[in-house]
Structure 1
Amino acid sequence: MNPKSKVTAGVLAILVGGLGIHKFYLGKTLLGIVYLLFCWTCIPSIIGLIEGILYLTKTDEEFQQKYAV
């Protein structure tokens, strides 16, 4: 298994979270597609910002266990 970088995921979520790029990076393709389908509502952008902050505040071990499956 290839470990994912929490910094990369966090930055992607904050900058382009509305398009779900961070979800594709983490291997959550279905959620990435949902983000793409609803990107016109700006709701995924808000959620992406929150997720990016959460990713960056987790320890590396917590991030790997919870998000990088």
Structure 2
Amino acid sequence: MEVTKPKEDWNTPQNLPQENKKVVAGVLAILLGSIGVHKFVLGYNTEGFILLGITLFSYLTMCFIIGAFLVWIPGFIGLIEGIIYLTKSDQEFYEIYQVNKRPWF
């Protein structure tokens, strides 16, 4: 009698979900964080539009002094979030940002 093992999918990690977007969201947050692309990738459309709106508003008011102060805020938020995303473990990132839907930091 021959014993056969159940077929295992050798290409997927055993403890991790299939759709972990940690690296994509982290890199996009660092590179394009000021326009909120990483928020759209994670499914946080409202927060993505907030970052995009702040960026557009700051560029439109750049001729006034207020735009010069606002223009760096969304990029700084994206940089911080990208670093946070990339320093978390895959399981921790999935639980916090994809299952529990924590939108900011």
Q: Does residue 66 of structure 1 match 2:82?
A: no
Structure 2 length-normalised TM: 0.61
Tell me which stretches of 4 or more aligned residues in structure 1 moved more than 3 Å: none
In the alignment of these two chains, the number of paired residues is 69
Match of 1:28 in 2: 44
- The RMSD of aligned alpha carbons is 1.5
User: What is the CA-CA distance between 1:68 and the residue it aligns to?
Assistant: 1.6
Percent identity, please: 52
Residues 39, 47 of structure 2: 8 Å contact kept: yes
Q: Name the amino acid aligned to 1:57.
A: T
Structure 1 length-normalised TM: 0.91
Which digits, 9 at most, give the CA deviation of each residue in 1:12-41, with x for residues without a partner?
000000000000000000000000000132
Distance 1:65 1:11 in 2: 19
Q: Name the amino acid aligned to 1:45.
A: G
User: Runs of 5+ in structure 1 lacking a partner?
Assistant: none
